[in-house]
A and B are shown apart, each in its own frame.
Chain A
Amino acid sequence: MRIHFDRVPAAFVRLRGRNGCVREYQALVSPATEYCIVPKVDAYRLGYPEAARGDPITQPVNLFRGVTFDGFWEGSLISMKEVAIGSVSTPNVDFIAYDIPQISGFDVILGKSFLAPSRLVIDYDVKAVRIGHEGGTK
């Protein structure tokens, strides 16, 4: 599947959560990111209420600590029921529930937990990203 982008590789992605709810998000395609990321409030709406709970005393068992080039962060690890771009979908993709700054203009980051099984081509010359998902179900 070929998707054109303007400044950075991006795509619209559909997430189906544990409760069957489906939502579509503008996602940043980032093969340098280890996991996919979804905001906490959206994780809650997709059926992962434990991911949105910010209990400062009890640490959830699925707490995930990550490291980026500008420091450390933490979020809850969840398994998204289905992730789809266009007609290509993948079941059970690992996501981290973490709030990305709204100013970034992206709701979701598609990292390697989704992109790893697929052949990915980013062509800056024609400003297009091509995702050939070999592990997809459709």
Chain B
Amino acid sequence: MKFKTFGPLMVFCRLRGPNGAVREVPAIIAPSFHYCTILKNDAARIGYPSVTSRPEELRTTNPGEVLEIITSKGIEVGTLVKVSEITVGPLKAENVEAMVMKAEFPQMIPVAAFLGRSFLKNFKLEVDPKSGTFSLT
């Protein structure tokens, strides 16, 4: 599937959680991220209410769910969840591991998700600067 790019590799993706709820959010394709990254309120609405509690509290109750990742600013703590389905147009990936960030993204970032390797591993990403497009197949 081909997308037009005006700078960042942006797409709209649909997140479906275990409660069947679907959220459509703008996302950036981020091949350097190990996991997809989603926001707390989106995670809560698609059926992961526990992630709205602080990861520090979660660590004591359920250590398996807490995730530490390395970012350009240091080590960030988040919560690991499995999104039942992530869809970008006709492309679909099931049981995608995603990290729910402890903090909200800065408002300057116009997206609500990052699609990392846990989603992209199912596809081939091709960026063509001549036509100003990128494709996921």
Q: Which residues of A contact B (CB under 8 A)?
A: 7-9, 28-34, 37, 67-73, 98, 100-101, 103-104, 109, 112, 115-125, 134
How many contacting A-B pairs (Cβ < 8 A)?
Answer: 104
For residue B33, which residues in chain A have a CB less than 8 angstroms away from its CB?
Answer: 32
For residue B72, which residues in chain A have a CB less than 8 angstroms away from its CB?
Answer: 37, 68, 73, 98, 100-101, 104, 109
For residue A68, which residues in chain B have a CB less than 8 angstroms away from its CB?
Answer: 71-73, 106
B124: shortest Cβ distance to chain A, in Å? 5
Q: Which residues of B contact A (CB under 8 A)?
A: 7-9, 28-34, 37, 70-76, 101, 103, 105-106, 108-109, 114, 117, 120-130
- Chain B binding site: helix, strand, loop or mixed by DSSP? loop
Are B130's CB and A120's CB within 8 A?
A: no
Are A69's CB and B109's CB within 8 A?
A: yes
For residue B108, which residues in chain A have a CB less than 8 angstroms away from its CB?
Answer: 67
A65: shortest Cβ distance to chain B, in Å? 10
Name which residue of chain B comes closest to A119, CB basis.
B128
Are B114's CB and A124's CB within 8 A?
A: no
Name which residue of chain B comes closest to A33, CB basis.
B32
A32-B8, A104-B70, A117-B129 are known contacts. Are A122 and B34 too (CB-CB below 8 A)?
no
A100-B72, A101-B70, A134-B130 are known contacts. Are A70 and B29 too (CB-CB below 8 A)?
no
Select one of B32, B34, B122, B123 contacting A29, CB under 8 A: B32
Interchain Cβ contacts under 8 Å between A and B, 18 examples:
A30-B30, A31-B31, A32-B31, A32-B32, A34-B7, A69-B37, A70-B101, A70-B105, A72-B106, A101-B71, A116-B129, A120-B125, A120-B126, A122-B124, A122-B125, A124-B117, A124-B122, A134-B129
